[in-house]
């Protein structure tokens, strides 16, 4: 039974714990890039009119700021560069989206309205996905950007020292290893 519990805690015990960051960085980063690119592809003036309809202060400025934060913040997350810094405006964008757009639609991001011969019809999404993005960004800030992150290589090239890797990550120096 203890073996089952141990396996349930960690499927691959020999894999360093910091590797969790790679799929989170890819999902969050590409998600932000895609949202920013979609706003850019439809025309920033289209997103500006949406922000204007919501009564946002200076919609043109905030439309461009949002697009740039989503594209360049997403890129920074994918490559693992300055995540604690870029997470702040990214989380602000998410919180604004939650409180101005998604909150009235409830929690669930999937609202199945009906299914007909033409396919499924969905309602407006809630704030669930935005909260998942916020949680993922916070996890990256607290847990680090993980291996293959550009900031680790920049630090090494400037100081000549690679960031210290704790024993809990490498497994070296821990009892039984």
Model confidence over 32-90: pLDDT tens digits?
999 999 999 999 999 999 999 999 899 999 999 999 999 999 999 999 999 999 999 99
- Residue pLDDT, tens place only, 144-156: 998 899 988 887 7
Of 11, 19, 27, nearest to 165 (Cα)? Answer: 19
Give the pLDDT confidence score for residue 175 in this predicted structure.
47
| Residue 167: pLDDT over 50 | no
Contact between 96 and 63 under an 8 Å Cβ cutoff? The reply is no
For the ranges 8-12, 83-87, 106-110, 170-174, the lowest mean pLDDT is seen at: 170-174
Q: Does the predicted model carry a pTM greater than 0.85?
A: no
Instruction: Determine the Cα–Cα distance for residues 2 and 138; give it in Å rounded to an integer.
Output: 32
Tokens for 129, please give them: 């996905």
């Amino acid at each position: 039974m203890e073996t089952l519990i141990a396996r349930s805690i960690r499927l691959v015990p020999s894999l360093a714990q910091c590797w969790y960051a790679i799929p989170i960085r890819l999902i969050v980063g590409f998600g932000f890039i895609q949202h920013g690119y979609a706003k850019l592809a439809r025309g920033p003036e289209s997103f500006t009119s949406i922000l204007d309809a919501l009564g946002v202060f200076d919609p043109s400025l905030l439309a461009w700021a949002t697009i740039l934060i989503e594209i360049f913040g997403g890129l920074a997350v994918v490559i693992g560069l300055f995540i604690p810094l870029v997470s702040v405006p990214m989380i602000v964008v998410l919180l604004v989206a939650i409180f101005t757009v998604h909150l009235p639609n409830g929690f669930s991001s999937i609202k199945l309205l009906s299914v007909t011969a033409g396919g499924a019809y969905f309602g407006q999404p809630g704030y669930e996905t935005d909260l998942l993005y916020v949680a993922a960004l916070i996890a990256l800030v607290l847990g680090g950007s993980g291996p293959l992150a550009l900031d680790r290589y920049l630090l090494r090239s400037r100081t000549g020292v690679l960031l210290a890797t704790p024993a809990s990550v490498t497994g070296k120096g821990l009892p039984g290893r």
